[in-house]
Structure 1
Amino acid sequence: MCLFGTILKQWNSLKYATAQLSSYQRQFKEVSIPVPWGHVSGKWWEPYNIRPILSLHGLQDNCGTFDRLLPMLDKNVGFLAIDHPGHGLSSRLPFGIYYHFSSYLITINFIRTFMNWDSVSFLGHSLGGILSYTYSMLYPERVDFAICLDGAKPMVRTNSIKRMADALDKFHKYSAFADSLEEPPSYTIDEIKEKLAKPNKNSVELQYTHFLMERNIAPSKKHPGKYYFTRDPRLKLGELLSFSQDELIEHAQYMTSPICIIKAKGSSYYEIKENFYTVLDVLKRTSRDCDFQYVEGTHHVHLNYPERVAGIVNSFIERHNVADRASGGMVEKMVVQN
């Protein structure tokens, strides 16, 4: 049985709500895209016959983060929400390989090649927003537009050399965890909810943590009634960004495609605050439409209160969904389950 089928069976008894049961009806199909190290899993939200908006989640989350938002968004375009490598139901990177920031960019290019997309449209949260921004910076001619939810320009952190050295030293430890046949530590459902809710200043409300749990845990064989996280332990090391502030300011000058940046008021900047606004000032001059807006909420406001984000996103999509999407729709062999 495939990994998705196994996990689906394991979760059937828990009867968690999904976005398909919300008041905003929208169907999706589970899909799998081949990559050299295995596959990238995701949900393709209808329509299926045109090129979708590629939707990218944050670090250690999965595509379930968009389950409450995507049913509210423009029905004239589809959304392909993927699990990054090592996250959700996607394959892990080979043992001995670090999850570098470039690994996620490479994944985007593999998806783009497989789907035969001439250009890409993005919706990203946190790490996904940073990837959307960075891909637009690297390939401005390939990007229709980018929508970044509480994460945009790559962060420039202090003590970056020490951070890198510490991460590399810990890499062998977490690699051993990833390669081990031993079952990871297990927890009750309530404990897992707490662990998912707590990061980023209690970013996820407890009542919505199950949207991140469904692709993120499996039942313990050693401790009945408990569950363990299935994401790759190596993800705890971070993704090793490597841009300087001067580079980001310089290359923002060439980012002409439309970009929408939504900043949660209750979230941090994770770097010197002025770094973000300096680059934003450049984008306001160079982008055809730099739409920057604040919303009330935490880092996961799109999951907790999607209605605060949906109107802004829909308005932006309506203005800029002008590229031809006739080719690049779903390939039937991608479908894992309707």
Structure 2
Amino acid sequence: MRMGTLSLDDFKDVRIPVPWGHISGRWYGNQKERPILAIHGWLDNLGTFDRLIPLLPDHVGVLCIDLPGHGRSSHLQPGVHYSVDDYVYIIPRVMREYGWPKVSLLGHSMGAILMFVYAALAPHTVDLVISLDILISESRQPDGNNLRLSARNMEKHLGEDERLLEGISCEPPAYTLDTLCRALNKGTFQSVRYEVAHHMLHRQVTRSQLYPSKYYFSRDGRIKFLNHAYLDVGLFAEMARRIATNPYLIIKGSESPFLGPSEAFSILSTNNPNFEFYEVQGTHHVHLNEPEKCAQYIVPFLHRHRPPTPRNGSSLEPKEHSKSKL
């Protein structure tokens, strides 16, 4: 059977109901098989996978979602705080919505952290993990600097809450798309290249009503100040031990400082026979800037651990296409 690659034009927009609204997403490709669940990083959205999707094999679909407060997903209600720990619950929520007994996971940055935590909590439900540029965040020591940062973030989060509760509805400052692309490049310390920044912007900006040629950020401002857990290095190590045989692929950008505690990485790489690690030249967003460097490892990994079945591939019926514009 001839295998092709996914098309970025072949998708279905999805809205997954949740108690606070909905989770927005796009399901690319095969919709008759359980897809890969893809989750973006902090302050990003599902557009982060735009350039990687077309390089993946088409025998398995990919469901990319926007986390709450990001992209086009609902914001949490005023008075409710964003937390990395709470984001982990999004994975089993999506699984229950579609009735999946198992899940295949693809994540970047914070999305990859959520997948490490979930895989450690429920390894029997995870059939593979593809982690882009991180395993788990470094343990945050409760020293003075970290505590001051947490205190400052708490105050800023509460300030954003107060503005929401007061019903302040004035439009945020608006800018041209070119200016926003440059701002995204600068804000990520050049991790996201200017020429590909529009892939992230198309889901996190809204056209200004006051200045129709300009746009403003529409993501929830409170996600900039989300809560980070103070987890112990020993706990990370025990979590790594629980991911004993789950196929686990990590691709790291050479110019990125992220990976995680060395002990957890060592345990996973030593104990798990299905663990793979590769370093490629690039930044934290290498999967967006130069997706071919990641795809060269992801594609064979998928063929090994999610091979095509007789029910999918060329036997699929034609799918409906839907397209959205900015």
**What range describes the TM-score normalised by the shorter chain of this pair?**
0.7 to 0.9
Q: Mind listing any 5+ residue stretches in structure 1 that lack a counterpart?
A: 1-22, 328-334
Give 2:32's match in structure 1, choosing from 26, 36, 49. 49
Alpha-carbon offset, residue 41 of structure 1: 0.7
Give me the identity figure in percent.
Answer: 37
Closer, same or farther: CA 229–177 of 1 in aligned 2, 3 Å: farther
Q: Mind listing any 5+ residue stretches in structure 2 that lack a counterpart?
A: 313-319
| TM-score, normalised via structure 2 length | 0.87
Is the counterpart of residue 207 in structure 1 residue 195 in structure 2? Answer: yes
Is the counterpart of residue 103 in structure 1 residue 86 in structure 2? Answer: yes
Give 2:248's match in structure 1, choosing from 254, 259, 270. 259
Alpha-carbon offset, residue 260 of structure 1: 0.5
More displaced, 283-292 or 31-40?
Answer: 283-292
Tell me, yes or no, if the aligned pair for 1:148 and 1:259 is still in contact at 8 Å. Answer: yes
More displaced, 214-223 or 38-47?
Answer: 214-223
Secondary structure of 2:23's counterpart equals: strand
Tell me, yes or no, if the aligned pair for 1:28 and 1:46 is still in contact at 8 Å. Answer: yes
Tell me, yes or no, if the aligned pair for 1:200 and 1:267 is still in contact at 8 Å. Answer: no
Alpha-carbon offset, residue 25 of structure 1: 3.4
Partner in structure 1 of residue 214 of structure 2: 226
Alignment of 1:66-105 (within 5 A): 66-105=49-88
Partner in structure 2 of residue 113 of structure 1: 96
Give 1:151's match in structure 2, choosing from 131, 134, 145. 134
Alignment of 1:1-338 (within 5 A): 25-26=7-8, 27-158=10-141, 159=143, 160-179=146-165, 180-256=168-244, 257-269=246-258, 276-321=261-306, 337=322
Secondary structure of 2:261's counterpart equals: helix
Tell me, yes or no, if the aligned pair for 1:132 and 1:146 is still in contact at 8 Å. Answer: yes
Secondary structure of 1:212's counterpart equals: helix
Closer, same or farther: CA 323–73 of 1 in aligned 2, 3 Å: closer
Secondary structure of 2:106's counterpart equals: strand
Secondary structure of 2:137's counterpart equals: coil
Secondary structure of 1:60's counterpart equals: coil
Post-superposition Cα deviations, 1:146-202, rounded to whole Å, max 9, x if no partner, equal: 100012213312434333222212211122344531111212222211121123321
Secondary structure of 1:123's counterpart equals: strand
Alpha-carbon offset, residue 215 of structure 1: 0.7
Tell me, yes or no, if the aligned pair for 1:121 and 1:146 is still in contact at 8 Å. Answer: yes
Closer, same or farther: CA 239–151 of 1 in aligned 2, 3 Å: farther
Tell me, yes or no, if the aligned pair for 2:117 and 2:239 is still in contact at 8 Å. Answer: no
How many residues end up aligned between the 2 structures? 305
Secondary structure of 1:202's counterpart equals: coil
Q: In the aligned structure 1, how far is the partner of 2:230 from the partner of 2:91?
A: 18
Closer, same or farther: CA 181–39 of 1 in aligned 2, 3 Å: same
Tell me, yes or no, if the aligned pair for 2:16 and 2:22 is still in contact at 8 Å. Answer: yes
